[in-house]
C-alpha cells in the first residue's frame, strides 16, 4: 500500500491531465463569467408614462412606510428620448428610513435586448437620493446564479416628476450549459 503522502501528488497530476483533455473538468464548481454594464434607470413618478404607483400611503413623518410598485425602464443612454430600452425593473420599493428619504428596493431586472432576452438579475438594497449601492442576489437565464453589485448615482436636472440614475453593474454568473464562457460588456 502506498503512503498517503505519495497518493496526493498522483491524484493532482491525473486531475490536471484530465482537465486539459476536457474543458468541463477544468472547474471544480461551474465556471463563472464576469459582466460589467453601464445602463440608466428611468423612473417616472408623475405625468405621462408613469412607471411607478404608490399602493400604500403613509401619514408618518417622511412618508415612512409608503409602499409602491414599479416597472421602471433600464435604457442604454442617459437621454430617455433617444435611448433604447434594455431591461425593465419589476418590483416594489418601500420608504424604510424614518428620517427619510431612503427607499428599500427589491426587483427583478428583466432584460429585453437580444443578448439577455428574458434573463434577469434579482436586486435588493437601499435607494438614496444621490447615490449608493444595491446587491445582485441572484439571476435567471443567461445570468443564472448571478451575484454582484450595482453602484448608482442620480443624474442632475431630470425632467419634472422623473429621476434618471446611472447604473454601474458588476457581477458574476454561471453560463448556462452549451454556451461559451467569457467576459461580457454592453
On whether residue 42 sits in a domain, the answer given is yes
What span, in angstroms and rounded, lies between the C-alpha atoms of 102 and 129?
7
64 lies in a domain?
A: yes
* Residue 138, domain CATH: 2.40.480.10
- Residue-level pLDDT at 5: 66
Q: Structure pTM?
A: 0.79
In a domain? residue 20: no
Task: With respect to residue 112, please indicate whether it lies within any of the assigned structural domains.
Answer: yes
Residue 53 lies in a domain: yes
Q: In this predicted structure, what is the pLDDT of residue 106? A: 97
pLDDT tens-digit map of 43-70 = 999 999 999 999 999 999 989 999 999 9
What are 114-137's pLDDT values in tens digits?
Answer: 878 999 999 999 988 789 999 999
Q: What is the pLDDT of residue 111?
A: 97
What local confidence, expressed as pLDDT, does residue 127 receive?
A: 87
* pLDDT tens sequence across 70-89: 999 999 999 999 999 999 99
Q: Assess if residue 18 is contained within a domain.
A: no
d(CA 67, CA 57): 7
CA angle 45, 140, 103 (to 5 degrees): 30
Give the pLDDT confidence of 24-48 residue by residue, as tens digits: 545 555 688 999 999 999 999 999 9
Segments forming the whole domain that contains residue 116: 32-174
Q: Give the per-residue pLDDT at 115.
A: 78
With cell 401619514, the residue in question is: 59
pLDDT for res 183: 47
Asked if the model's pLDDT at residue 2 lies above 80, the reply is no
pLDDT (tens digit, 9 = 90+) per residue, 148-186? Answer: 999 999 999 998 999 999 999 999 999 877 655 444 544
- CA nearest to 128, candidates 97, 87, 90: 97
Q: Which three cell numbers stand for residue 75?
A: 435604457
| pLDDT on residue 181 | 47
105 occurs within a structural domain: yes
- The count of residues in the chain is 186
* Residue 56 lies inside a defined structural domain of this protein: yes
pLDDT for the residue numbered 185 = 47
Q: Are 94 and 103 in contact (CB under 8 A)?
A: yes
Instruction: Tell me the mean pLDDT in the region 101-109.
Output: 95
**Number of domains comprising the chain:** 1
Amino acid at each position: 500500500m502506498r503512503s498517503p503522502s505519495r497518493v496526493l501528488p498522483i491524484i493532482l497530476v491525473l486531475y490536471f491531465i484530465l482537465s486539459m483533455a476536457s474543458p468541463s473538468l477544468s472547474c471544480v464548481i461551474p465556471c463563472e463569467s464576469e459582466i460589467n454594464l453601464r445602463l440608466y434607470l428611468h423612473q417616472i413618478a408623475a405625468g405621462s408614462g408613469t412607471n411607478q404607483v404608490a399602493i400604500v400611503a403613509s401619514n408618518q413623518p417622511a412618508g415612512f412606510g409608503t409602499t409602491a410598485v414599479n416597472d421602471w425602464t433600464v435604457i442604454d443612454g442617459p437621454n430617455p428620448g433617444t435611448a433604447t430600452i434594455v431591461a425593465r425593473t419589476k418590483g416594489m420599493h418601500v420608504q424604510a428610513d424614518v428620517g427619510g428619504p431612503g427607499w428599500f428596493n427589491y426587483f427583478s431586472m428583466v432584460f429585453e435586448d437580444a443578448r439577455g432576452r428574458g434573463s434577469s438579475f434579482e436586486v435588493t438594497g437601499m435607494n438614496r437620493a444621490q447615490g449608493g449601492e444595491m446587491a445582485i442576489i441572484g439571476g435567471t437565464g443567461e445570468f443564472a446564479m448571478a451575484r454582484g453589485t450595482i453602484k448608482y448615482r442620480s443624474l442632475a436636472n431630470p425632467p419634472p416628476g422623473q429621476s434618471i440614475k446611472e447604473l454601474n453593474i458588476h457581477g458574476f454568473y454561471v453560463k448556462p450549459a452549451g454556451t461559451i464562457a467569457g467576459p461580457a460588456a454592453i
